[in-house]
Amino acid sequence: MVLALDGGTPVRRHDFPAWPHHDDAEREALVRAVDQGQWWRVGGSEVTSFEAEFGAHHGGPVLAVTNGTHALELGLEILGLQPGDEVVVPAFTFISTSIAVQRAGGVPVPADVDPVTYCLDPAALDAVRTERTRVVVPVHMAGHVADLDAIGAWADRHGVTVFQDAAHAHGAVRSGRRIGDFGTLAAFSFQNGKLMTAGEGGALLLPSADGFDDAFARHSCGRPLGDLDYEHRSPSSNYRMTEFAAAVLRVQLGRLTAQTERREARWTTLAAALREIPGVIPQGRDPECEVHPHYMAMAALDPEAHPDVDRDLVVRALVAEGIPAFVNYPPVYRTAAHAALLGKALPDAAELAERNPVSEHLGARGLWLHHRVLLGTDADCADVAEAVAKVLAAVAGKRRPAR
């Protein structure tokens, strides 16, 4: 069978469900925000309403901000991170988890992830802890909630603070608890690809309402709510969300539960089909993770079954077959950004690779599909599996230069 990349017929000639999903509800919300006559959160009502609604859904008080990276930066500021303080981050995560630490003056310290869930491995934490470790940031990879019980117990033993990166985990539940029920700070993202979006946006979920006034001031150039005297309590930045973004997000939140249920059902179908393909290993699941919203449909190629397969070529071929596929994140320490703000050269790659074998494997052999694949039908999932099988059969031992 000839690959579409080589001029053959693609598996799919029609697209998957569009993302972002929108209809007249978003249009009406934007008109409502415009017509209120106040487009700034201090005078409008959309951001405040969204904070209350998102907080009720996730189990804690919420401060809406400009984006998920800023939510991480603001959270670290609230935690009092000082220059030189170390923050444990997963080696396998989007770079914002690392650069937020750097921009806050801290030192991100990569630790390996679990080979089944792709989340921060509690067993990897002791090896990276030093007397300067202040915070640990578990990332709920693709929506799978990390083992917060084990990570929290480790943090309690060593006087370390847990700060959840929940950018992928809207509506996720573990052990009967929502993200806010774990009693820590948590950062969310509403970037264009996320499970609910306004193009950009973020939120910081707080452990209790007691910290809201301080967080509000810090996200508003240090000015407390209701300030009329230009009282700037801290040298903070402007992380305020617009009324327009909040109006759209209120509608998006209303769709989240139904879309999550659909993704969960389609992932069961897709994962089963992928497991039938030799050497394809979908992201696994801890049974304690009760609701996994599947921001990404993730899998990795077994190097023993496919020792010569070029993962990047596989992804390019899948895209040509009509599948919205992407390569996995590289380990954070393999990016120039990881060390740039620290003013020093990258650590020895061989040493870090030895310490983070799972992250190395996922970065080199992993791929993911956009979650809109899971908003389709079982037949759509069958097309994905057919395309993966077709591509792997055709590209074994075949390499191409990057395009």
DSSP letters, 94-156, are -THHHHHHHHTT-EEEEE-B-TTT-SB-GGGSGGG--TTEEEE--B-GGGPPP-HHHHHHHHH
Amino acid occupying residue 137: V
Largest interatomic CA distance in the chain: 72
Kindly report the average pLDDT of the chain as a whole number: 95
What's the confidence (pLDDT) of residue 10? 95
What's the confidence (pLDDT) of residue 402? 46
Asked if the model's pLDDT at residue 177 lies above 50, the reply is yes
Question: For 7-30, what is the mean pLDDT?
Answer: 96
With tokens 């792997």, the residue in question is 392
Q: How far apart are CA 51 and CA 60, in angstroms?
A: 10
What's the confidence (pLDDT) of residue 340? 75
74 CB neighbour count, 10 Å cutoff:
25
What's the confidence (pLDDT) of residue 1? 81
> Per-residue pLDDT tens for 109-164?
999 999 999 999 999 999 999 999 999 999 999 999 999 999 999 999 999 999 99
Question: For 238-246, what is the mean pLDDT?
Answer: 98
Report the alpha-carbon angle 113-369-23, nearest 5: 125
> Per-residue pLDDT tens for 208-220?
999 999 999 999 9
> Per-residue pLDDT tens for 264-318?
999 999 999 999 999 999 999 999 999 999 999 999 999 999 998 999 999 999 9
What's the confidence (pLDDT) of residue 361? 97
What's the confidence (pLDDT) of residue 350? 78
For residue 20, cis peptide bond before it (omega within 30 degrees of 0): yes
pLDDT band at 401 (very low <50, low <70, confident <90, very high): very low
DSSP 8-state assignment for residue 238? B
Q: Which residues, 6 or more positions from 391, have their beta carbon under 8 angstroms from its beta carbon?
A: 3, 314, 317, 318, 321
222 CB neighbour count, 10 Å cutoff:
17
Both structure tokens of 379: 């037949």
What percentage of the chain exceeds 90 in pLDDT? Answer: 91
Query: Which domains are seen in the chain, by residue range?
Result: 24-251 (3.40.640.10), 255-395 (3.90.1150.10)
What's the confidence (pLDDT) of residue 343? 65
Asked if the model's pLDDT at residue 346 lies above 70, the reply is no
Reported as half-sphere exposure (CB side, CA atoms, 13 A), residue 77 has a value of: 23
Q: How far apart are CA 232 and CA 222, in angstroms?
A: 4
Bridge partner residues of 204 (DSSP): 63, 187
93 CB neighbour count, 10 Å cutoff:
26
pTM for the structure as a whole: 0.95
Catalytically annotated residues: 94, 165, 168, 191, 194, 223, 230, 240
What's the confidence (pLDDT) of residue 319? 98
With tokens 């967080």, the residue in question is 215
Return the exposure string of 165-188: e unless at least 16 CB atoms fall within 10 Å of the residue's CB, then b.
bbbbbbbbbbeebbbbebebbbbb
